[in-house]
Amino acid sequence: MRRAFTLIEVVIFIVVFSVGVMGLMSLFYNTFAKIYDPTARLKGIQVAQGFMEEIYGKYWDNDTYFSDNGSIELSLANIGREESTDDIAQFDDLDDFVKCSSGVDCPCSVTEYDSADVGLTPGYKIKVKVSYADTDASGDIVEECINRKDLKMVTVTVRHAKDYNGETYELKYVKGNF
């Protein structure tokens, strides 16, 4: 004689199965809620690269220029904006992207821009830090906030304005005074 499931066994199975499925569904829900949109990530990286390229083409310092005979005249001026405008099209050197008083040395200070204000994909916040750089005992390049050096490190950090999961994208490059 075959024996079938009783009503109580079927109800217990449904309850246990439902609890298990709810656990899996909450896992999927939490996972999908924390997955960052790859398109927004790619755009954020492109915003960082675009802004870094804008900075990369500038002089090392406001007082560094090509003389009439074609040689480069160098200086160790302070880090800080010499221009009186916030229009980045008018900036001619690296440290113009840092907003601090002219003539005051303020390495390692950070200035934030909105990506739409600088002609890039809207919806991102861009932080720029310009500092001096040096090499440590092992030969690695390190940020130097106190001593003036012949190297400047530019750090561009980009995050989405809606701050999805706190993801940021950081690019650094070093430019020499030579």
Q: Could you state, in order of their start, the residue ranges of all structural domains in the chain?
A: 35-176
In this predicted structure, the answer to whether residue 17 has a pLDDT above a threshold of 70 is yes
Give the span between the Cα atoms of 86 and 90, in whole angstroms. Answer: 8
pLDDT, the chain, mean: 79
pLDDT digits (tens, 9 = 90+) for 98-149: 776 555 567 778 888 888 888 888 888 999 888 888 888 888 888 887 777 7
Residue 16 has a pLDDT of 93
Give the least confident one: 21-35, 76-90, 117-131, 152-166. 76-90
pTM above 0.85, yes or no: no
Dihedral sign from CA coordinates of 45, 46, 51, 56: positive
Query: Which is it for strands 168-176 and 151-160: parallel, antiparallel or unpaired?
Result: antiparallel
Calpha distance 79→103 (Å, rounded): 8
| Of 48 and 57, the one with more pLDDT | 48
Cα–Cα distance, 121 to 109 (Å, whole number): 25
